[in-house]
Chain A
Amino acid sequence: MRNEKCEQRNGERRPARQVSPFRIFHFAFCILFLLVGCETSKHVIEGRRGVSAYLSGNFTLSQRVLEPLTEKTDEDYVLNNLRYGSAAFAAHDFHEAERAYVRAYQIMNATKVNDAGREAAIVWLSENKKVWRGEPYERAVANLQLGMIYYAQNDYGNARGAFENALFKLRDYKSADARNYDEQESDFVIALLLLGRTWTQLGRTDEAARYFDRAVELRPGVSALARELGNRSNNVLLYVEYGFGPRKVETGMDGNALDFYPHPGQAGSIPLPNISIDGQSAPTPIQEPLFDTLSMALDRRWQKIDTIRKTKSYLGTGLMVAGAGATIYGADRRDEGAAIAGIGMMVAGALLKASSEADIRTWEMSPRTAFIIPLHVPPGTHDISVSFQSGVYQTWRGITIAPDRETSFLFRMMPVTSREYDFTRPTAQSVSADEVPMSR
């Protein structure tokens, strides 16, 4: 009204409706946000379906749902391949698991995978546009599982490479100029022990001793296990995964900070496995868990993206407060320009805050820990059981122990998969997903 009066007073005539630059600005931003939201929602839902199937113990369904997502080379490419690989791994479908893990491995080993456009999207739109490559502990576990896939197929050269890479991945927890990685290697002593075992199988006892000594130096509690792993007369290696890794959660004033849930104290201590062969209890050299992803996750270093997210959040809050002030001021003084500017500032602030949400994508299937158990079992067909005090157990009937090479067997222990299974094929690697009975 005030402007119209002014215009009439000056004898000027302007178009009745002028498109405000503010509107263009807001419209452009809203469209961008909507586009980003539309693009991600469909495959995110499919990903969650696959995860739910996995968590309910239906690995075959999980594989079927997740498989199409493994081809989609977007920012969730690594995450979806790890999810699919987990389902295949749990179903002993090693061919598919290897394919998926190698795809993820190639991106996890690459650098600068976020190009300039993607970096702009991360800063201005959503942190979820970042190419997900996992936290260092997730990368280490992925390499550990890839190594176990090769190990179970007696491909010791590739297994060694994957276990070494698992240790490399943990170095991101340390500052760039760090001289040694004692703490990281101590937290993931399983990789050192498996490296020792792999070198043992390759006939390099000197290298094996180097890794076993290093493991015992960092964690004296694994000395008995290291001794048994170095003994080549142990012809069976059980790899037992237990529990689930942490999930990322938003914390802070408006979800602009990251935390991991649960913390080790909230989840309780990790029980040790009991093994029985043909109904007879078998002694194990396990005295303590070999890693705990719940505590490893807490080592997360402050990153540049955290600073950007916080800055955006605080700036957004500041803009909203200042905008509200300007709007009130404009309304009070009948200054339409100031009021519109205030509203614009509030909208810009709200958008900034909305884009400051933390990226909480997590590899939901990662285990909390894993045990490696070397055993000496006479060649032939046997029933092997693994159980925990928590009530989680699995019994596999009819596992064939080869006379001429090491047999490895992988267990994914979950409450919903606690039951007996018939093992119909001669070796672990030849079992397909369809043959693994599922708990419903």
Chain B
Amino acid sequence: MKQVFLYLCSSVFICGSLIGCTKDNVTKTGQRAALDSFDLTTMTDDMAMKIAADPEVLAEFNAHGPLKVVVRPVENRLTGEVLPRGEAMLFTARVRTLLSHHAPDKFTWIMNRDAFYDLRGRELEGIDLGPSPDAINPQFALTATFSSLADENPKRRSAYYLCVYELTDLSGRTTLWSDRYEVKKIAVKGDFE
């Protein structure tokens, strides 16, 4: 009988320990078949490096001086996914930030008109908004289009992502530079989904 009690007590202890290990932050648990911060840094590091080293971009810089570029938010063509405005801006804004740090002489960054007036409206101190979009006509646009093939069933959700970045000449509608980032994600569902 005593053994049974000991078993029961130890099982209560194990349960209690497990329950004690429960994370109270549900936003930090689970698997997601979505682009995450790792993809953001990998993708944007890669794109910034490739733009800065691209021979055609360098030739354009050598011929006409710094490229006047406007950055646009990501165009969402993802299947079954939303890309809120903040995230959509983040994926291109980080490329701009990296390039303005590592190749400041090659590019003049012109803020997207909406974002410029939004920030100016807030009168944020300490933020250099750069030239007004009305004062300088951008020559190029840095755009990104995210597409995916996604599927979901009772066992899992999976998505294959294709993220295409382009530096487009706005006057001729030609593409000066383009590259892509591809990744596949699978999230398997658990017992208590």
Interface residues of A (CB under 8 A from B): 21-22, 24-25, 28-29, 32, 73-75, 77-78, 98, 102-103, 105-107, 109-122, 124-125, 129-131, 133, 146, 150, 157-158, 161-162, 164-165, 167-169, 171-172, 174-176, 178, 303-305, 337, 341, 348
Q: What is the bound-complex CA distance between A162 and B81, given in angstroms?
A: 6
Residue of B nearest to A341 (CB): B1
In the complex, the answer to whether A120 meets B15 with C-beta atoms within 8 Å is yes
Of B15, B32, B80, B152, which contacts A161 at CB under 8 A? Answer: B80
Q: A28-B9, A102-B82, A111-B190 are in contact. Are A171 and B154 (CB under 8 A)?
A: yes
In the complex, the answer to whether B192 meets A305 with C-beta atoms within 8 Å is yes
Residues of B within 8 A of A337 (CB): 1
Residues of B within 8 A of A176 (CB): 153-155
Of A32, A110, A146, which contacts B30 at CB under 8 A? Answer: A110
In angstroms, how far is the closest chain B Cβ from the Cβ of A370? 19
Residues of A within 8 A of B155 (CB): 176
Residue of A nearest to B78 (CB): A161
Q: Which 10 A-B pairs have the closest CB atoms?
A: A117-B22, A21-B5, A113-B30, A110-B30, A157-B76, A120-B18, A117-B21, A112-B190, A164-B80, A168-B152
Residues of B within 8 A of A303 (CB): 192
Q: What is the bound-complex CA distance between A175 and B154, given in angstroms?
A: 7
In the complex, the answer to whether A124 meets B15 with C-beta atoms within 8 Å is yes
In angstroms, how far is the closest chain A Cβ from the Cβ of B29? 5
In the complex, the answer to whether A304 meets B192 with C-beta atoms within 8 Å is yes
In the complex, the answer to whether A106 meets B27 with C-beta atoms within 8 Å is yes
Complex interface residues of chain B between 16 and 33 (CB less than 8 A to chain A): 16, 18-33
Residues of B within 8 A of A168 (CB): 80, 150-152, 157
In the complex, the answer to whether B80 meets A165 with C-beta atoms within 8 Å is yes
Q: A112-B190, A157-B76 are in contact. Are A146 and B31 (CB under 8 A)?
A: no
B68 part of interface (Cβ distance < 8 Å): no
Q: A73-B25, A77-B26, A165-B80 are in contact. Are A111 and B19 (CB under 8 A)?
A: no
Q: A117-B21, A337-B1 are in contact. Are A112 and B30 (CB under 8 A)?
A: yes
Residue of A nearest to B191 (CB): A304
Q: What is the bound-complex CA distance between A117 and B18, given in angstroms?
A: 4
Q: What is the bound-complex CA distance between A81 and B69, given in angstroms?
A: 39
Interface residues of B (CB under 8 A from A): 1-2, 5-6, 8-9, 12-13, 15-16, 18-34, 75-84, 150-157, 187-193
Of A114, A115, A158, which contacts B21 at CB under 8 A? Answer: A115
In the complex, the answer to whether B26 meets A111 with C-beta atoms within 8 Å is no
In the complex, the answer to whether A172 meets B192 with C-beta atoms within 8 Å is no
In the complex, the answer to whether A125 meets B82 with C-beta atoms within 8 Å is no
Residue of A nearest to B13 (CB): A28
In the complex, the answer to whether B24 meets A109 with C-beta atoms within 8 Å is no
Of A73, A112, A172, which contacts B24 at CB under 8 A? Answer: A73
Residues of B within 8 A of A116 (CB): 18, 21
In the complex, the answer to whether B27 meets A165 with C-beta atoms within 8 Å is no
Of B20, B26, B150, B156, which contacts A117 at CB under 8 A? Answer: B20
Residues of B within 8 A of A110 (CB): 29-32, 187
In the complex, the answer to whether B25 meets A172 with C-beta atoms within 8 Å is no
Residues of B within 8 A of A21 (CB): 2, 5-6, 8-9
Which residue, of A110, A133, A168, has the highest number of chain B Cβ atoms within 10 A? A110
Residues of A within 8 A of B16 (CB): 28, 32
Known pairs A32-B19, A111-B187, A304-B192; list 18 more (Cβ under 8 Å).
A25-B12, A29-B12, A109-B34, A110-B30, A113-B26, A114-B190, A114-B192, A115-B21, A117-B21, A119-B190, A119-B191, A119-B192, A130-B192, A157-B77, A165-B82, A171-B152, A172-B193, A178-B153
In the complex, the answer to whether B82 meets A150 with C-beta atoms within 8 Å is yes
Q: A111-B30, A114-B192 are in contact. Are A158 and B82 (CB under 8 A)?
A: yes
In the complex, the answer to whether A131 meets B26 with C-beta atoms within 8 Å is yes
In angstroms, how far is the closest chain B Cβ from the Cβ of A89? 15
In the complex, the answer to whether A161 meets B76 with C-beta atoms within 8 Å is yes
A-B contact pairs, 21 of them (CB 8 A): A25-B5, A73-B25, A73-B27, A73-B28, A74-B26, A77-B26, A102-B82, A102-B84, A110-B187, A111-B30, A111-B31, A111-B156, A112-B30, A112-B31, A119-B192, A120-B19, A121-B22, A165-B82, A171-B153, A304-B191, A304-B192
In the complex, the answer to whether A73 meets B26 with C-beta atoms within 8 Å is yes
Q: A73-B25, A112-B188 are in contact. Are A25 and B84 (CB under 8 A)?
A: no
Residue of A nearest to B16 (CB): A32
Q: What is the bound-complex CA distance between A118 and B28, given in angstroms?
A: 13
In angstroms, how far is the closest chain B Cβ from the Cβ of A361? 14
In angstroms, how far is the closest chain A Cβ from the Cβ of B30? 4
Residues of A within 8 A of B77 (CB): 157
Q: What is the bound-complex CA distance between A4 and B1, given in angstroms?
A: 19
Residues of A within 8 A of B6 (CB): 21
In angstroms, how far is the closest chain B Cβ from the Cβ of A177? 8
Q: What is the bound-complex CA distance between A417 and B30, given in angstroms?
A: 40
Residue of B nearest to A173 (CB): B154
Q: What is the bound-complex CA distance between A121 and B23, given in angstroms?
A: 12
In angstroms, how far is the closest chain A Cβ from the Cβ of B54? 28
In the complex, the answer to whether A107 meets B187 with C-beta atoms within 8 Å is no
